[in-house]
A and B are shown apart, each in its own frame.
Chain A
Amino acid sequence: MSLLKLDNVTIRFGGLIAVDKVNLTVEQGEILSLIGPNGAGKSTIFNLITGIYSPTEGNIYFEDRSIGSKKPYHLAAAGIARTFQTIHLFNNLTVLDNVLIGAHTRGKWNVTGALLKFTPWVRGEERELTEWAYDCLERVNLADKADELAMNLSYGAQRRLEIARGLAVRPKLLLLDEPAAGMNPQEKATLLKMVKAIRDSGVTIFLVEHDMKFVMSISERISVLDYGVKIAEGPPEAIRSNPKVIEAYLGKGAVNSA
Chain B
Amino acid sequence: MAEVLQSISNSIDPYILQIFVNIGIAIILALGLNLITGVTGQLDLGHAAYMSVGAFTAAIITINLNLPFSINLLIAGTIAALVGLAIGFPILRLTGDYFAIATLGFAEILKVVFLNLDITNRALGLSVPPANTTIPMPFYVWMITILVIVGVTFIQNSRFGRALKAIREDEIAAETMGINSTRYKNQAFAIGCFLAGIGGGLYAHFIAYINPSDFAFMKSIDILNMVVLGGLGSIPGAIVGASVLTVAPEFLRFMSEYRMLVYGALLVFLMVFRPNGLLGGVDFRKMVLRIFFGKKEKKPNVTIKAR
Residues of B within 8 A of A107 (CB): 159
Give the nearest-CB partner of A110 in chain B: B160
B174: which A residues are within 8 A, CB to CB?
Answer: 90, 101
Q: Can you name the residue of chain A whose Cβ is closest to the Cβ of B299?
A: A149
Which residues of chain B have C-beta atoms less than 8 A from A50's C-beta?
A: 176
Which chain B residues (185-222) contact chain A, with CB distance < 8 Å?
Answer: 187, 191
Residue A165 is within 8 A (CB to CB) of chain B in the complex: yes
Residues of A contacting B180 in the complex (Cβ-Cβ under 8 angstroms): 71, 73
Given contacts A114-B155, A115-B154, contact A169 B165 (CB under 8 A): no
Residues of B near A117 (CB, < 8 A) are 154, 157-158
Q: CB within 8 Å of B: which of A52-107?
A: 52, 71-73, 75-77, 81-82, 84, 88-93, 97, 100-102, 104-105, 107
Chain A residues with CB under 8 A of B179: 73, 101, 104
Q: In the complex, which of the residues B170, B175, B187 contacts A71, with contact meaning CB atoms closer than 8 Å?
A: B175
Q: Are B175 and A104 in contact (CB under 8 A)?
A: no
Give A126 to B154 CA distance when docked, in angstroms.
Answer: 13
Instruction: List A109-127 residues whose CB lies under 8 Å from chain B.
Output: 109-111, 113-115, 117, 122, 125-126
Asked if B97 is an interface residue, CB under 8 A from chain A, the answer is no
CB distance from B165 to the nearest CB of A (A): 6
Query: Separation in Å of the B215 CB from the closest CB of chain A?
Result: 26
Q: Smallest CB–CB gap between A48 and chain B, Å?
A: 13
Cβ–Cβ contact A92 & B176, under 8 A: no
A129 surroundings in chain B (CB, below 8 A): 159
Q: Is the CB of B162 within 8 A of A97?
A: yes
B264 close to A (CB within 8 Å): no
Q: Count CB-based A-B contacts (< 8 Å).
A: 111
Whether B187 pairs with A81 at a CB distance below 8 angstroms is no
**Assuming the A-B contacts A71-B180, A88-B170, are A114 and B300 also in contact, with contact meaning beta carbons closer than 8 angstroms in the complex?**
no
A190 at the interface (CB under 8 A from B): no
Total contacting residues, chain A, CB less than 8 A: 41
Q: Are A93 and B158 in contact (CB under 8 A)?
A: no
- In the complex, A241 has a CB within 8 A of chain B: no
Beta-carbon nearest neighbor of A118 in chain B = B154
Q: Tell me the residues in window 125-176 of chain A with beta carbons closer than 8 Å to chain B beta carbons.
A: 125-126, 129, 148-149, 152, 165, 169
* Shortest distance from the beta carbon of B56 to any chain A beta carbon, whole Å: 26
Contact A114–B154 (Cβ < 8 Å) = yes
For the complex formed, measure the closest distance between the CB of A244 and the CB atoms of chain B, giving whole angstroms.
33
A77 pairs with B178, CB closer than 8 A: yes
B151 touches A115 (CB 8 A): yes
Contact A101 B175 (CB under 8 A): no
Give the distance in Å from the alpha carbon of A77 to the alpha carbon of B163 in the complex: 15
Contact of B163 among A71, A91, A101, A152 (CB under 8 A): A101
| B108 adjacent to chain A (CB < 8 Å) | no
Of all chain A residues, the one with the shortest Cβ separation from B188 is A111
Interfacial chain A residues near B49, Cβ < 8 Å:
none
Q: How far is the CB of A256 from chain B (nearest CB, A)?
A: 44
Q: How far is the CB of A132 from chain B (nearest CB, A)?
A: 13
Determine whether the beta carbon of A90 is less than 8 Å from that of B165.
yes
Instruction: Decide if B7 is an interface residue (CB 8 Å cutoff).
Output: no
A210 and B14 CA atoms in complex are apart in Å by 72
**In the complex, how many angstroms separate the beta carbon of A80 from the nearest chain B beta carbon?**
9
Q: Is B298 an interface residue (CB 8 A)?
A: yes
CB-contact partner of A92 in B159, B160, B161, B301, under 8 A: B301
Q: How many whole Å from A161's CB to the nearest CB in chain B?
A: 12
- Whether the Cβ atoms of B177 and A102 lie closer than 8 Å is yes
A165–B161 Cα gap in the complex (Å)? 17
A-contact 0/1 string along B164-182, CB 8 Å cutoff: 0110011011111111110
A88 to B175, CA, bound (A): 12
- The minimal Cβ–Cβ distance linking A197 to chain B, given in whole angstroms, is 22
Q: Are B158 and A76 in contact (CB under 8 A)?
A: no
Q: Which of B157, B158, B187 has the most CB of A within 10 A?
A: B158
B26–chain A nearest beta-carbon distance, Å: 23
Q: When the two chains form their complex, are residues A110 and B172 in contact, meaning their CB atoms are under 8 A apart? A: no
Which of B170, B172, B178: most chain A Cβ within 10 A?
Answer: B178
- Contact yes or no, B300 A113, CB < 8 A: no
The reply on B245 being an interface residue by CB < 8 A is: no
CB-CB < 8 A to A152: which residues of B?
Answer: 298
CB of B63 within 8 A of chain A? no
Ranked 3 nearest A-B pairs via Cβ = A76-B178, A114-B158, A105-B178
7 residue pairs from A and B, CB less than 8 Å apart = A73-B179, A101-B174, A104-B166, A105-B177, A111-B160, A114-B157, A114-B160
